[in-house]
């Protein structure tokens, strides 16, 4: 090998995570992808979003200067010199960095903080959907339980419920005892979208509680039943608390009303209660019980509440989220079975995949999880999907291969979900896969799949 062919390799350390190698001139994002580190890049590494951002902790002089595109983003947001876009920052020496966004909650919080920094305003008024969730009679049921056990199982419930909130573009505002306060619509979504996301989250929380309830009954001898109240209205969004530890939160009558509505779920025997302000923004979209007019505690006006039993028509996003959650604890087994079915039905596809099937399985399950989390943010993840399509194009994947993969996915889902793999669930996965594959194909030099993406037409996800 000549000197001109020697490629210098540098060490990139992600603080409190992992150390990897990066070729000289490689971007931090490309280094992450090559080393199979999940790294947000919703615009497809085009410097049109900030989800890949990192903070350089050491070795700033070993990172390339900002490109014109990155300089514009950084200037608009008032970034310091250490905050960089991983898709633009090239490595020319050893670097220590911290990934700033590792969950949907991180994306939302930092987006809000940047908006405040750009506008110079610490507080602002906006209209949102506020969701309050509480475990029924939790304190009474756990009186004889060991405190550490209670904390352990309560955190299990919080993790499942919060995941539903984040998957539906919501912000977990705070945990209050055994309750959760979540907000939807703080990123400029329309009232309809905010309310739909909140209702999806409410239904998803109930599904999660039903899955966890047998564990609570077995180990704590208590029933995990939750009530969820949702209200739409104006709030003040701002940072509150001690100057050294302020946090973003929402304040106002809308928050108090949502809490009062949740308290009525037990009295009205309704797992989910919606105010008329939520129902008004989703005309004809919900299956509702009769309206109940009553005066909420501490409120002078009469409120109109409706029990919600779901959507009036199958909701593809909700069905995919719920069915995916059923297999979430068996993802490795799911991935292994998927590839067994795929290669059994289509042996010609085997050369397209990595020799180590365990590595391939981890990549598949990580990608599936990320896609399900991003279903409610299709515009934001479209760039990443197009970039993924370009990578698959480099592997010489054909349009027909998308349909083959889809068929194997459906067969695996049917096997793992059993009787829960209903016609509606199947149609939902087909619609979602159509959207995903269409976006991936758009990234392959303008090619298009017949019918909008291999299996079914492209769905419109709201």
SS (H, E, C) the chain: CCHHHCCCEEEEEECCCEEEEEECCCEHHHHHHHCCCCCCCCCCCCCCCCCCEEEEEECHHHECCCCHHHHHHHHHHCCCCCEEECCCCEECCCEEEEECCCCHHHHHHHHHHHHHHHHCCCEEEEEEEEEEEEECCHHHHCCCCCHHHHHHHHHHHHHHHHHHHHHCCEEEEEEECCEEEEEECCCCCCHHHHHHHHHHHHHHHHHHHHHHHHHHHHHCCCCCCEEEEEEEEEEEEEEECCCCCCEEEEECHHHHHHHHHHHHHHHCCCCEEEEHHHHHCCCCCEEECCCEEEECCCCCCEEEEEEEEEECCCCHHHHHHHHHHHHHHHHHHHHHHHHHHHHHHCHHHHHHCCCCHHHHHHHHHHHHHHHHHCHHHHHHHHHHHHHHHHHHHHCCCCHHHHHHHHHHHHHHHHHHHHHHCCHHHHHHHHHHHHHHHHHHHHCCCCCCCHHHCCCCCCCCCC
- Find out whether 131 and 275 touch, Cβ atoms under 8 Å: no
Reported as a single tens digit per residue, the pLDDT across 414-440 is: 999 999 999 999 999 999 898 888 888
Helix axes 191-219, 147-167, angle to 10 degrees: 150
- Find out whether 13 and 19 touch, Cβ atoms under 8 Å: yes
Based on the number of CB atoms within 10 Å of its own CB, is 185 exposed (0-12), middle (13-18) or buried (19 or more)? buried
232 has a pLDDT exceeding 80: yes
pLDDT number for residue 444: 77
Q: What is the mean pLDDT of residues 209-219?
A: 91
> Distance from CA of residue 399 to its chain's centroid?
28
Beta pairing partners, 229: 132, 273
394 has a pLDDT exceeding 50: yes
Q: What is the mean pLDDT of residues 89-108?
A: 80
222 has a pLDDT exceeding 70: yes
Which of 87, 84, 74, 78 lies closest to 43, judged by CA?
87
What are the angstrom distances between the C-alpha of 332 and each of 99, 324, 336, 359?
26, 13, 6, 11
233 has a pLDDT exceeding 90: yes
pLDDT number for residue 147: 86
Residue 451 — pLDDT band, cuts 50, 70, 90? very low
Comparing 41-50, 81-90, 135-144, the range with the smallest average pLDDT is 41-50
Phi/psi-derived region of residue 69, left when phi > 0, alpha when psi is between -120 and 50, beta in every other case: alpha
42 has a pLDDT exceeding 80: no
pLDDT number for residue 115: 53
Which of 211, 199, 205, 200 lies closest to 179, judged by CA?
205
Reported as a single tens digit per residue, the pLDDT across 134-188 is: 999 888 888 888 888 888 889 899 989 998 998 898 989 999 999 999 999 988 8
The pTM (predicted TM-score) of the whole model is 0.75
What are the angstrom distances between the C-alpha of 292 and each of 264, 280, 285, 302?
11, 15, 19, 10
Residue 442 — pLDDT band, cuts 50, 70, 90? confident
pLDDT number for residue 445: 62
Percent of the chain beyond pLDDT 70?
A: 89
**What is the C-alpha radius of gyration for the chain, rounded to an integer number of angstroms?**
24
441 has a pLDDT exceeding 60: yes
Instruction: 147-150: list long-range contacts, CB under 8 Å, 24+ apart.
Output: 149/219, 149/220, 150/220
Residue 101 — pLDDT band, cuts 50, 70, 90? confident
Three-point CA angle 54, 366, 208, nearest 5°: 105
Residue 107 — pLDDT band, cuts 50, 70, 90? low
Based on the number of CB atoms within 10 Å of its own CB, is 109 exposed (0-12), middle (13-18) or buried (19 or more)? middle
Q: Greater confidence, 45 or 185? A: 185
pLDDT number for residue 38: 73
Q: Greater confidence, 320 or 111? A: 320
Distance between CA 166 and CA 375 in Å, rounded?
Answer: 11
Q: What is the mean pLDDT of residues 258-275?
A: 95
Reported as a single tens digit per residue, the pLDDT across 313-355 is: 999 999 999 999 899 889 889 999 999 999 999 999 888 776 7
Query: What mean pLDDT is reported for the chain?
Result: 85
pLDDT number for residue 255: 95
Percent of the chain beyond pLDDT 90?
A: 49
Residue partners of 359: CB distance under 8 A and separation at least 6:
36
Reported as a single tens digit per residue, the pLDDT across 273-311 is: 999 999 999 999 999 999 998 888 877 788 899 999 999
Residue 118 — pLDDT band, cuts 50, 70, 90? very low
pLDDT number for residue 356: 75
In the structure encoding, which two tokens stand for residue 282, read together?
């989703």
Residue 104 — pLDDT band, cuts 50, 70, 90? low
Residue partners of 103: CB distance under 8 A and separation at least 6:
166
93 has a pLDDT exceeding 90: yes
61 has a pLDDT exceeding 90: yes
- Which domains does the chain show, CATH number per domain? 3-99 (3.10.20.30), 104-313 (3.30.70.1230), 317-452 (1.10.490.10)
116 has a pLDDT exceeding 80: no
215 has a pLDDT exceeding 60: yes
Helix axes 316-327, 147-167, angle to 10 degrees: 140
Distance between CA 462 and CA 458 in Å, rounded?
Answer: 13
112 has a pLDDT exceeding 90: no
Which of 368, 357, 360 lies closest to 328, judged by CA?
368
């Amino acid at each position: 090998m000549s000197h001109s062919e020697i490629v210098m390799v540098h060490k990139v350390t992600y603080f409190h995570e992992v150390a990897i190698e990066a070729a000289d001139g490689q971007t931090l994002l490309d280094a992450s992808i090559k080393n199979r580190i999940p790294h947000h890049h919703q615009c497809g590494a085009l410097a049109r979003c900030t989800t890949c951002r990192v903070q350089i902790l050491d070795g700033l002089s070993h990172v390339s200067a900002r490109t014109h595109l990155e300089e514009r983003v950084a200037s608009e947001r008032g970034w310091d010199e250490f905050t960089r876009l991983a898709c633009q920052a090239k490595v020319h020496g050893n670097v220590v960095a911290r990934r700033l966004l590792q969950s949907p909650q991180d994306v939302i919080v930092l987006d809000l903080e940047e908006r405040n920094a750009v506008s110079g305003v610490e507080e602002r008024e906006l209209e949102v959907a506020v969701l309050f969730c509480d475990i029924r009679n939790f304190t009474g049921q756990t009186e004889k339980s060991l405190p550490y056990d209670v904390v352990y199982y309560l955190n299990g419930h919080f993790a499942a419920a919060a995941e539903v909130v984040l998957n539906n573009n919501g912000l977990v505002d705070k945990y209050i005892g055994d309750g959760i306060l979540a907000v939807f619509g703080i990123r400029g979504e329309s009232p309809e979208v905010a309310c739909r996301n909140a209702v999806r989250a409410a239904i998803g929380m109930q599904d999660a509680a039903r899955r966890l309830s047998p564990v609570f009954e077995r180990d704590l001898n208590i029933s995990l039943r939750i009530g969820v109240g949702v209200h739409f209205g104006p709030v003040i969004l701002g940072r509150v608390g001690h100057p050294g530890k302020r946090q973003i939160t929402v304040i106002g009558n809308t928050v108090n009303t949502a809490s009062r509505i949740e308290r009525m779920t037990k009295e009205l025997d309704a797992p989910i209660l919606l105010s008329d302000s939520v129902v008004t923004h989703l005309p004809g979209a919900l299956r509702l019980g009769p309206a109940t007019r009553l005066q909420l505690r501490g409120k002078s006006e009469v409120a109109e509440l409706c029990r919600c039993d779901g959507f009036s028509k199958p909701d593809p996003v909700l069905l995919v989220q719920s069915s995916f959650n059923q297999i979430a604890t068996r993802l490795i087994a799911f991935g292994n079975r998927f590839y067994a079915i795929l290669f059994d039905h289509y042996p010609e596809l085997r050369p397209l995949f990595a020799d180590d099937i365990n590595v391939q399985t981890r990549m598949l399950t990580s990608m599936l999880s990320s896609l399900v989390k991003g279903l409610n943010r299709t515009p934001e993840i479209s760039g990443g999907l197009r970039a993924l399509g370009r990578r698959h194009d480099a592997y010489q994947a054909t349009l027909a291969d998308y349909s083959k993969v889809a068929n194997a996915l459906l067969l695996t889902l049917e096997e793992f979900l059993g009787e829960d793999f209903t016609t509606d669930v199947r149609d939902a996965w087909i619609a979602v896969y159509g959207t995903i594959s269409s976006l991936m194909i758009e990234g392959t030099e303008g090619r298009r799949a017949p019918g909008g993406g291999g299996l079914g037409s492209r769905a419109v996800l709201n």
